[in-house]
Chains A and B, each alone.
Chain A
Amino acid sequence: MKISKTQFLFILTLILGAYYLVIGVYLNHLGYYNQENIFYIEKTKIVFEGLGNRIKVMGLTSPLLPFYATFIFSIFNTCLAPVIASAVGTAILFYIIADALTKRINDDFYLYMLMILFFLHPGMLYAACSGKAIYLVLIFFFLFFFNLLKFYRSNTTFHVSLASMCLVILIFCDYKFIWLTLFFAPLVLAITVQSLNLGEKESIFRLFLSFNRPSLRRKLINKTFAIYVILFILPIASIICYKLLNLTHANDLNYFIESPYATWSVLVDKLNYDITATSANYQLPELSVMVSVRVICFCPLILLAVYLFRKSTYQVLTILTPFAFIEFLHIKYDKLFLNYEYYLIFLILSLLCLVFKAQAIKRQNILKIALLVIILVQLYTGYIFLSQSLITDEKSFITTLATHEVNTDQAESMEMAEVINNLPKDSHVLMDDAISYPVAAFTHDIQKLTLPYQYLFLSAIETPYYYDNYILIATAKNPFAGYTQLNNKYIPLIRIVNSGVNYKRVYETNNWILYQIVSTQ
């Protein structure tokens, strides 16, 4: 029986998905978790099992779409849901790219190259098996540029509007991509000038002509404005609406990006930077403004991609836009490290360029050899970038994967959660999940916890003895202790409020102390 190309790709995708899933589950069993997937696990538990203002958690947890993606898979297993989501999502990304590739190129070599990347590239494995939202970012980043390049060719509303929708989804997968729009502003003008029906071929003269003839000028302005609107109004309007929702439900326009209750990255990114910046070896390679050079080292394929489009000015400008974007991120968020996903987008972008242009190259053999060499180099650079990463989650992923040793990063949270799990059934524990979400995530019964999403949390903070039997306190050693009220200063303060209540240490780890509230009256 002969199978069609689509069926073949589908089977390949299934195999790839299973492969990712096996690795992801294996890593999970070795104890590998990262802050992002733990955050999703805890919020999912709140949404499905919690009691209180769940609408806020449902709607304002950020990034929104990766969080929803884990929802779907939480029917199988809440703790594994992020990993399943990322494994399935990355397999889908493979299918999308492979499908686009096979529709345009009749040479299986390119498909094999794609398979090598998806099966072996450490970055792709990280996207697929870590349970992070990178897979969604990559999918919609690919689709955004894919539709944009298609729009350049077809000039149809369909492609430009699809690109816009992909941009919206991209922003709701990672808010930082909103800045990408900034660099498309001049590009749109270039596209419009190019699309005007003029005899003049040279871009600068076309622009000159368009500005100096009233009818052309009107046309240029109208069209440029229309493309801006059609491309950017959807993301802008979505963000405005979402910010308004934040305002109405959390009294803060930027709640979803600034509150540790809404997003995992606020504290984690900060901590990553602080720890590295103050560490003894003081290694800060990203201080260099040459982030783009790092990208080229990580993904030399992007040079080939630019070369392939060398004759199309605004396609090249489009490919270069993400460079401007990451340089901007580096300046804007100077206290943060660039996550691995911002390097991976270049890998995806270069694959996209191959999809569009590889067939047009006459010397296919040279291209194939170059491609093979570059991809092998990239497998190595992908590994190096992960293993040398200054971000804990990234480094511990590759370490766990390479050494097969048990990862103990979350051991302490699990240990404390186990203690809470073993507390009497009707006991209640007051904790602040701005920093203690890993403990909450590993707790079996979320209803046992009094958390900030509940209306009674503030009352419980004031008078814990009325609402709870236990309090989870961050010790002074806890790096996040400064970001919660429930830290080592809390117990002495609350003792002053009501001296008739005593607090007994039940269990203690490096970062956490569980107090039991004992009434002496």
Chain B
Amino acid sequence: MSISIPELLVNDGFILPGDQEKIHDFSERSGLSYVKIALNFGYISRKNYERSLINAGFTFAPIRNEAFDIEVLKKVELKFANDQVALPLRIENNKVVTLMSDPSNQFFIDFIKFTYDLEPEIIVANDLDITWLSHKLLGEKYVKASVFDLLKRDPKSSASTTFTNPQLIIIFVMIGIIAVGLVLSFKNTSIIINVIISTFFLIAIIFKLFLALVGSRFELHQAVTKAEVRDVMDDTLSIYTILLPVYKEDKLIKKLIWNLQSLDYPREKLDIKLLIEEDDDKTLKAVQNLDFPAVFEVIVVPFHMPKTKPKACNYGLHFSRGKYLTIYDAEDIPDTDQLKKVVALFEKLPSNYICIQSALNYFNRNENFLTRMFTLEYSYWFDYMLPGLDTLDIPIPLGGTSNHFKMDVLIELGAWDPFNVTEDADLGVRAYAKGYKVAIINSTTYEEANNDPINWIRQRSRWIKGYMQTYLVHMRNPVTLWKKIGWRGFLGFNFFIGATSATFLAYPLLLGIFISYLIFDFSTMHTLFPDWVLFMSIFNLMVGNILMIYINMMAVFKRRYFELILFAIANPVYWLMHSAAAYMGLYQLVVNPFYWEKTNHGLSKVNNPTNVIK
């Protein structure tokens, strides 16, 4: 069978002659094989490809359990195998048993002949199976680099050690002092603790209000205008990598393709990597069974602990080709012009701006109470707090997705910390500490708000645990941190990253005290709350709650989600859920710090129309 597969596909009518030329041109320019481009850049679906080859007499073999010879594998580089969608496995009967997705790929056949000095014996296989096997057999070097690179290069920034010895000493000494104090003088120690907590809360509330006001002041400011986006020339655009780390997201694959196809960016300049874990057959099958062309390339992340999203992203980074890089979750719906906006903004900003964070919000906001509260929170966080931090030049804890990086600097920074479960927040602070800056852009990515309370608590416990990890990592040497990021950054970091988890931990305790205060005799409480402390506590309770609720209202008012305004009043209940998550996160921080609490996506029953920006 000497027929060329590209010709076969044209003959079968699956690929147009015009597209054929485009694929060949692209292949020459990029070094990617024909089949890689055809299957991953939206030209043909895997089903049609398979159909065409089967009709031509090829058979697709199951290959996952094929025997392999390490000596044979040593002579092939993973990136090359990945680009060619082919893999030599062993030598048998004086031939190199070679897996190929496109059996007519002469370039790879020549490579086999030249490298092994033997003829290949081609086994035609599904491209995803070949990818799976290539990464499993050849990916060890890369996956180890993904896990240990940062630890080797900059161990002080790695969360592989949760508590350092000095930190443990400080924590236990403080617990000891408090215990002794409570035994010796319960009243005075309680008063001191009260004063510290009240002062801390007071400052945190005022700080957050100030940030929100600073942030809201720029609500009409457009970092990139529509005209500037229109002026972006497609020919001048650089390759843009999009990493899509997924785990058991089979239900979302179709939506994902729809969302990615809507992006206003030249298709050939998009380098989209769907990062699938080795054991995630569900998602792999879902991709395999797509009956329309995919617009992403699958990268299989070999098994290695810790099994976290940052590890997968670090792994994907080895195969990325872009000048810029961003991460989306599988269910994300970015504004269609987001990538162009980012490019335009990067060109406007000074070179030390290495990351641009888009706003995140939710498409299923009206689904239930939880999604409404989540929307309120995100609107406030991304529309007010982050722009506030940006304006005041305080380190920005990056959001989980839609943060756009300059690839070279991302690599220079050591990429994501695989041991940190909020790797994005950590990276934001690390970038800031190295003198780089993060900007905020007027573009939104719509996500799926968690609509299930248990799922929500699991997700939030990971976030809060990650904040605790990030705080512990960067506060290993507070003086060094202060020198690196300045007093403003230092205070901002403490009140934003540190205070977030601390306030959620303290909230139910304080609420308990307040309820006791209401139910029981005032005079008993009065001994623990001298006049000034009681005054401050009442101020915190009343003004703090009102202001935090009000800031949430402001944020949804700005987004014109008028129907959500009154839900802000339910925030005290919502904060209790945060507290539950905070305690779960704290427990996990101690017993299982690197465990990644998976958030289940695709639970929403709400349709998610693409957010087309005209």
B553 touches A158 (CB 8 A): no
Answer whether residue A271 sits at the interface, using C-beta atoms and an 8 A cutoff. Answer: no
Minimal beta-carbon separation of B567 from chain A (angstroms)? 11
Looking at A221-229, A303-311, A427-435, the stretch in contact with chain B turns out to be A221-229
Answer whether residue A485 sits at the interface, using C-beta atoms and an 8 A cutoff. Answer: no
A234 touches B546 (CB 8 A): yes
Minimal beta-carbon separation of A231 from chain B (angstroms)? 10
Q: How far is the CA of A156 from the CA of B559 in the complex (A)?
A: 11
B531 touches A233 (CB 8 A): no
B562 touches A222 (CB 8 A): yes
Minimal beta-carbon separation of B527 from chain A (angstroms)? 13
Minimal beta-carbon separation of A140 from chain B (angstroms)? 16
Minimal beta-carbon separation of B599 from chain A (angstroms)? 30
A contacts with B: majority SS: helix
Q: How far is the CA of A43 from the CA of B156 in the complex (A)?
A: 55
A59 touches B538 (CB 8 A): yes
Q: How far is the CA of A222 from the CA of B562 in the complex (A)?
A: 6
Looking at A23-31, A207-215, A237-245, A262-270, the stretch in contact with chain B turns out to be A237-245
Answer whether residue A55 sits at the interface, using C-beta atoms and an 8 A cutoff. Answer: yes
Residues in A neighbouring B233, C-beta threshold 8 A: none
Residues in B neighbouring A161, C-beta threshold 8 A: 213, 216, 550, 554, 557
Residues in B neighbouring A55, C-beta threshold 8 A: 531, 534-535
Answer whether residue A54 sits at the interface, using C-beta atoms and an 8 A cutoff. Answer: yes
Interface size on A, residues (CB 8 A): 26
Answer whether residue A157 sits at the interface, using C-beta atoms and an 8 A cutoff. Answer: yes
A54 touches B563 (CB 8 A): no
**Contacts known (A157-B554, A230-B557); A241 close to B219, Cβ less than 8 A:** no
Answer whether residue A58 sits at the interface, using C-beta atoms and an 8 A cutoff. Answer: yes
Using an 8 Å CB-CB cutoff, how does the interface string of A150-189 with B read, 1 for contact, 0 for none?
A: 0000101110111010000000000000000000000000
Q: How far is the CA of A157 from the CA of B566 in the complex (A)?
A: 16
Q: Which of B502-554 contact A (CB under 8 A)?
A: 531, 534-535, 538, 542, 546, 549-550, 553-554
Q: How far is the CA of A242 from the CA of B534 in the complex (A)?
A: 15
Answer whether residue B565 sits at the interface, using C-beta atoms and an 8 A cutoff. Answer: yes
Tell me the nearest residue of chain B to A158, going by C-beta.
B216
From the candidates A59, A158, A234, A242, name the one contacting B535 in the complex (CB within 8 A): A59
Q: How far is the CA of A58 from the CA of B529 in the complex (A)?
A: 14
Answer whether residue B220 sits at the interface, using C-beta atoms and an 8 A cutoff. Answer: yes
Residues in A neighbouring B348, C-beta threshold 8 A: none
Using an 8 Å CB-CB cutoff, how does the interface string of A40-57 with B read, 1 for contact, 0 for none?
A: 000000000000011100
Answer whether residue B558 sits at the interface, using C-beta atoms and an 8 A cutoff. Answer: yes
B546 touches A238 (CB 8 A): yes
Tell me the nearest residue of chain A to B517, going by C-beta.
A248
B213 touches A162 (CB 8 A): yes
Answer whether residue B217 sits at the interface, using C-beta atoms and an 8 A cutoff. Answer: yes
Residues in A neighbouring B549, C-beta threshold 8 A: 237
Q: How far is the CA of A55 from the CA of B525 in the complex (A)?
A: 13
Q: How far is the CA of A459 from the CA of B534 in the complex (A)?
A: 26
A158 touches B219 (CB 8 A): yes
A230 touches B219 (CB 8 A): no
Tell me the nearest residue of chain A to B533, going by C-beta.
A55
Minimal beta-carbon separation of A268 from chain B (angstroms)? 27
B550 touches A233 (CB 8 A): yes
From the candidates A154, A223, A230, A238, name the one contacting B553 in the complex (CB within 8 A): A230
Minimal beta-carbon separation of A59 from chain B (angstroms)? 6
From the candidates B220, B550, B562, B565, name the one contacting A154 in the complex (CB within 8 A): B220
Using an 8 Å CB-CB cutoff, how does the interface string of B441-480 with A read, 1 for contact, 0 for none?
A: 0000000000000000000000000000000000000000
Residues in A neighbouring B534, C-beta threshold 8 A: 55
A233 touches B542 (CB 8 A): no
- What are the 5 tightest A-B residue pairs by CB atom distance, in nearest-first order? A226-B562, A222-B562, A158-B216, A157-B558, A55-B531
Which A residues lie at the B interface, using CB under 8 A? 53-55, 58-59, 154, 156-158, 160-162, 164, 222-223, 225-226, 229-230, 233-234, 237-238, 241-242, 245
Would you give 15 A-B contacts (Cβ < 8 Å), ordered by A? Answer: A55-B534, A156-B216, A156-B219, A156-B558, A157-B216, A158-B213, A158-B219, A161-B216, A222-B562, A225-B565, A226-B562, A229-B553, A229-B565, A230-B557, A238-B542
